[in-house]
A = this chain, B = another copy of it.
Amino acid sequence: MTHFLGTHQNRLDAKGRVSVPAPFRAVLRTLANGSDDAAALVLRPSHKHPCIEGWPPATFHALGPPLERLDLFGEDHDDLAAALYADAHPVEADREGRIVLPDALVSHANLSDTVVFMGLGRWFQIWEPEAAERRRIEARERARSAHLTLPGGALRAGNGA
């Protein structure tokens, strides 16, 4: 399994720790493929929603090379680099598979003592439970009313991430 699927609810303890759902941990392990950062993860605030995005390190770093094609001294490069990297938080799970959520991200997502992990395929999101529910309903509505479809061939070929 190489995709984050499903929705999981876990508790945020007094130290700000939360267990990464076991299925998500399995995905991270698979993508890390035995390397040292089998429990590593990059967190960043979504700037579209009040939630936290969770990225496998390899996937996150794959966003870098396109950036390097921009003029190193251009304005665009600076803005992108700042937007992408300055708010990123690399975290590592402890041996129980827990991560600590940085304060800045906790407040960005309005988290209290219970959080929801929402699988989005190549990455996932962390939400406050009620906001997560609203978001899921909204996503379903929008997907239907906008007649969103998948890129051609997706259902025949399985897709390539």
List 10 other contacts, CB 8 Å, given A3-B85, A5-B90, A79-B138.
Answer: A5-B85, A7-B86, A23-B90, A48-B78, A62-B152, A80-B150, A82-B143, A84-B154, A84-B155, A85-B121
Assembly CA distance A47 to B140 (angstroms)? 8
Residue contact A7 to B87, C-beta cutoff 8 Å:
yes
Query: CB-defined interface of A104-121 with B at 8 Å, one 1/0 digit per residue?
Result: 000000000000001111
Number of A interface residues at 8 Å Cβ cutoff, please give it.
Answer: 65
Of residues 31 through 83 on chain A, the ones whose CB sits less than 8 Å from some CB of chain B are 37, 40, 42, 46-49, 53, 57, 59-64, 66-67, 72, 75-76, 78-83
Known A63-B154, A146-B76; judge A84-B46 contact (CB<8 A).
no
- Measured CB to CB, the closest approach of chain B to A84, in angstroms, equals 7
Of residues 114 through 161 on chain A, the ones whose CB sits less than 8 Å from some CB of chain B are 118-122, 135-136, 138-140, 142-144, 146, 148, 150-152, 154-158, 160-161
The 9 closest A-B pairs by CB, nearest first: A82-B139, A83-B143, A48-B157, A81-B120, A79-B142, A5-B88, A46-B157, A79-B139, A79-B143
A-B contact pairs, 29 of them (CB 8 A): A5-B42, A5-B90, A6-B87, A6-B90, A7-B86, A23-B90, A48-B75, A48-B156, A49-B157, A60-B154, A63-B150, A63-B151, A63-B152, A75-B142, A76-B148, A79-B139, A79-B148, A80-B150, A80-B155, A82-B120, A82-B140, A83-B139, A83-B155, A84-B143, A85-B119, A85-B120, A86-B120, A122-B152, A122-B160
